[in-house]
């Protein structure tokens, strides 16, 4: 897998965070997914995404906590990814390309 770019994070003032969860906020999975899509579009504008084949969230992400994404090779119209934070796996999955 190939890691690229600067670490990603969700700012503590992100509008999806209030109420998710009071006293111990965590970043909703859909917000992490949105960052991954954005990162892929910056990295490979020539390979648009069509969908998400699978995704597994392994650990929680706190607001402001950085994470990195590693991308696999594009094969059969798909690309796998792994997101990690602090040496721990955060999420894995596979996008389908258009």
> Locate tokens 């999420």: which residue?
91
- Cα(50)–Cα(15) distance, integer angstroms: 26
Confidence band (pLDDT; 50, 70, 90) for 95? very high
36-46: average pLDDT: 96
49-68: average pLDDT: 97
The token duo for 40 is 């892929």
On whether the pTM is more than 0.95, the answer is no
């Amino acid at each position: 897998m190939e890691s690229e770019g600067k670490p990603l994070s969700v700012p503590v003032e992100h509008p999806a965070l209030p109420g998710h969860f009071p006293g111990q906020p965590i970043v909703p999975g859909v917000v992490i997914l949105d960052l991954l899509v954005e990162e892929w579009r910056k990295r490979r504008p020539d390979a648009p995404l069509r969908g998400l084949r699978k995704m597994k969230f392994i650990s929680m992400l706190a607001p402001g906590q950085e994470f990195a994404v590693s991308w696999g090779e594009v094969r059969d119209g798909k690309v796998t990814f792994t997101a990690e934070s602090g040496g721990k796996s955060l999420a894995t999955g596979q996008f389908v390309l258009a």
